[in-house]
A and B are shown apart, each in its own frame.
Chain A
Amino acid sequence: MPISRRALAAAFAVCVALPLSACGSGGDGGGTADASGKVEGDITFQTWNLRANFKDYFEGVIADFEKKYPGTKVKWVDQPAEGYADKISADAAGGTLPDVVNVSPDLVAPLAKAGLALDLDKAAGKYKKEYLDGAWASHQVPGTQGTYAFPWYLNTGPLFYNKALFKEAGLDADQPPKTYDEVFDAALKMAKETDGKVATLANVPTIEDFGRYGVELMNKQGNGFSFNDAKGVELLTKYKELYDAKALDPQALTATPESSGKKFLTGAVAMNPGSALDLGNFKKQVPNLYKNIGITDQITSTGHVNMYVMGVMVNAQTKRTPAAVAFAHYVTDAEHQMSFAKQVAIFPSTAGSLDDPYFTKEDGTDETRVRVAAAKSLKNAVNYTPVLFSEQMKTELRNEVAKALQGKESPKEALDNAVKACDTLLQQQG
């Protein structure tokens, strides 16, 4: 082929070939874990796809910080959404990781284990009480002591459904399903009424779905997975039934969040999880659909909805520990999280912020309604995805789930195999 084999934008770096010595493992780096010194010097701050929309916000935050601490200089770099893990891998392996890095829990875990993330319980334990307990804990890694990133913004969202499709199938569009059983019943009815043309769900169950269904994902010690219990098998058996009835979209086995979103927009799928952000998108992209969109609460059997957590970690090898810690805290403190939340539909992880009238007072619009409901549910939300659940494990689970849905394996066999494979991967991570 005439194209360069590297001209492939989908993220796919492979860290296959480091000279054995060049690996960055902690301990001997230039940095110190002591954050008590004077806040000064140049640091670099890396965000994950935030520049395009929030340039002014971040430049403002940085300018304020530099004013508050004369002698500091913050260089801000922003990376695009795709390839972020690859970029961090290359930097971590090459020793060029920025001082302060925007991360998610699954990125923190391997960095912490390699000694590249600063333990904030030690370096910044005094700030712990400023954050929601659940959020602070979300960057703790089983098998290590400590907390490896400041919690930053949170997100969760409702379930959207297409009222028009509900009506066509003879379902009550004003009484959307509230429990798993109701969802499954509605989905089967929908499939029956439309001859399998309209599915209700677009995605196969992921690890967080198992968590939300009430499955124990890991054992107590955090050194083995346990989602092959009776509850897990029950959920997968149910999905198999949906799949056979085409109530779960036939393309679900190959779906991505993007593709299933598109299916919802085209009316091929009747329900889709989303967030407050999506409302604006619907309005803009498919005005016809917007007026038919119904909103209902995220389904959960545990009483806790799922949330996504973003964090800000400090590079353990930074030469400017005090400044890096100070800045990471500055960006994630209550004041700045609050002002960021008002820019975009995300939620602060700082204690008390969710009680702000902005998150409690309804004004009749859909946006506010979604926001208020989400903020309320976030107070006891859980990040179900275990921090040690790597990309490779996600693929293992996904492929085993697919085999069960296709009928190549029983749900029990499939989950047993997935647990076995994930346990092996977990041990290999060391």
Chain B
Amino acid sequence: MSVMEKVRPKAPAPAREPRVTDEHGRRIRVWELALRYLLLLGVLALTVGPFLWQLSTSLKGPTEDIFSSPPKFLPGEPTLHNYERVSETIPVWDYAFNSLKVATANVVTNCVGAALAGYALARLRYRGRRAATLAFILAMLVPVEGIIIAQFTTMRELGLNNTLVGVVLPGSISALNVLLMRNAFLNLPYEIEEAAYVDGANVWQRFLRIALPSVKGTVAVVAIFAFMGAWDDFLWPLIVLSDPSKFTLTIGLNYLHGTFANDERLVAAGTIIAVAPLIALFACLQRYFFRGVGEGAVKG
């Protein structure tokens, strides 16, 4: 239906006639194509370049001057030594495993919770619906920087401080995700559910069998956001957790900044370790992701 469908890896255009067309099947002129690629490459250099620079720094060996001017873009003798040192300094795997647990839990709770709440806001009729929607919108506007200690106090009263559950809970259903799901459900044609309704399907059946499968893409978007949020978070896990064996990767990598190990190469290796899983995850999910977007999931 959408453009995105066509984007998915599809057999390359017939080889005999290398003809490039746009989304409307119209042919694109050569100069226009060249200009497009030029622009694309320009933006590519801007968006990805900085990360490659960081990657390059992380691969530079201990004898290489990393502050040289003019800068050297490629490591003279690429080495994984810095990554080894990171894993010697901190238990990367344990921390990464904790992060994975937290991020996975966050994905599950956000997908489920946001889908349910989003459906309630978009499709169900009841008194207080406006108030509920308003609650989510206000929650999105609260400056989170200001409430972290109060969150900690609440967590301690629940006896959940120093647990991974405590790390997940406050962000487990984020208001923004609920509103994204609400918009996705709002954009579904009513007719689909109408038919099921006539067939006698109850609200759960309509939600599970009809509405939810139609917004798979938005669920993928929510999943990525939830994973990213939990994976990147630093301050909240730091405050909630006391026991180093429960630390997440972001906290762990922060040890690399410390007074006693201030090495730019190590820090660079650390950032690459932190970013790589996200990029990998995104690369795996991007198919669904872009398709989800094609649903008009986040459309106003």
Q: Do chains A and B touch in the complex (CB under 8 A)?
A: yes
Contact between chains at A78 and B152 (CB < 8 Å)? no
Please give 19 more A-B residue pairs, beta carbons under 8 A apart, in addition to A17-B150, A277-B259: A3-B232, A4-B232, A6-B145, A18-B150, A49-B255, A52-B90, A52-B258, A79-B238, A81-B258, A86-B239, A89-B149, A95-B156, A96-B156, A261-B262, A266-B69, A277-B260, A281-B262, A285-B263, A287-B65
Q: Which residues of A contact B236 (CB under 8 A)?
A: 6
- Chain B residue nearest to A283 in the complex (CB): B62
B79 within 8 A of A: no
Q: Which residues of B contact A77 (CB under 8 A)?
A: 242-244
- List 20 interface pairs A-B (beta carbons < 8 Å), by A numbering: A3-B228, A4-B171, A6-B145, A6-B233, A7-B234, A8-B235, A9-B254, A13-B239, A14-B148, A16-B147, A46-B242, A80-B252, A82-B234, A82-B254, A83-B234, A89-B149, A94-B161, A258-B262, A286-B66, A287-B65
Question: How many angstroms between the C-alpha atoms of A421 and B63 in the bound complex?
Answer: 48
A90 within 8 A of B: yes
- Chain A residue nearest to B144 in the complex (CB): A5
- Chain A residue nearest to B156 in the complex (CB): A94
Q: Which residues of A contact B259 (CB under 8 A)?
A: 49, 81, 277
Contact indicator per residue, chain B 242-275, by CB within 8 Å of chain A (1) or not (0)? 1110000011101111111111110000000000
- Complex A-B, nearest 8 residue pairs according to Cβ-Cβ distance, in ascending order: A17-B150, A9-B234, A4-B229, A80-B254, A7-B232, A16-B146, A49-B258, A15-B149
B: residues with CB less than 8 A from A are 62-63, 65-69, 89-90, 143-150, 152-153, 156, 161, 171, 174, 225, 228-229, 232-236, 238-239, 242-244, 250-252, 254-265
Question: How many angstroms between the C-alpha atoms of A91 and B260 in the bound complex?
Answer: 25
- If A8-B235, A96-B242 touch, whether A90 touches B144 (CB-CB below 8 Å) is no
Partner of B263, one of A12, A22, A281: A281
Question: How many angstroms between the C-alpha atoms of A80 and B229 in the bound complex?
Answer: 20
Q: Which residues of B contact A83 (CB under 8 A)?
A: 234-235, 238-239, 254
Contact between chains at A344 and B260 (CB < 8 Å)? yes
Contact between chains at A93 and B149 (CB < 8 Å)? yes
Question: How many angstroms between the C-alpha atoms of A7 and B139 in the bound complex?
Answer: 17
A: residues with CB less than 8 A from B are 2-9, 11-19, 22, 44, 46, 49-53, 77-83, 86-87, 89-91, 93-96, 98, 258, 261-262, 265-266, 277, 281, 284-288, 344
Q: Which residues of A contact B252 (CB under 8 A)?
A: 80
Q: Which residues of A contact B149 (CB under 8 A)?
A: 13-18, 89-90, 93-94
- Chain B residue nearest to A11 in the complex (CB): B235
Q: Which residues of B contact A266 (CB under 8 A)?
A: 67, 69
Q: Which residues of A contact B143 (CB under 8 A)?
A: 5
Question: How many angstroms between the C-alpha atoms of A82 and B258 in the bound complex?
Answer: 8
Contact between chains at B146 and A286 (CB < 8 Å)? no
Partner of A6, one of B63, B148, B242: B148
Question: How many angstroms between the C-alpha atoms of A2 and B147 in the bound complex?
Answer: 20
Question: How many angstroms between the C-alpha atoms of A325 and B232 in the bound complex?
Answer: 38
Contact between chains at A52 and B261 (CB < 8 Å)? yes
Partner of A17, one of B69, B147, B161, B261: B147
Contact between chains at B258 and A90 (CB < 8 Å)? no
Q: How far is the CB of A142 from chain B (nearest CB, A)?
A: 27
Contact between chains at A93 and B238 (CB < 8 Å)? no
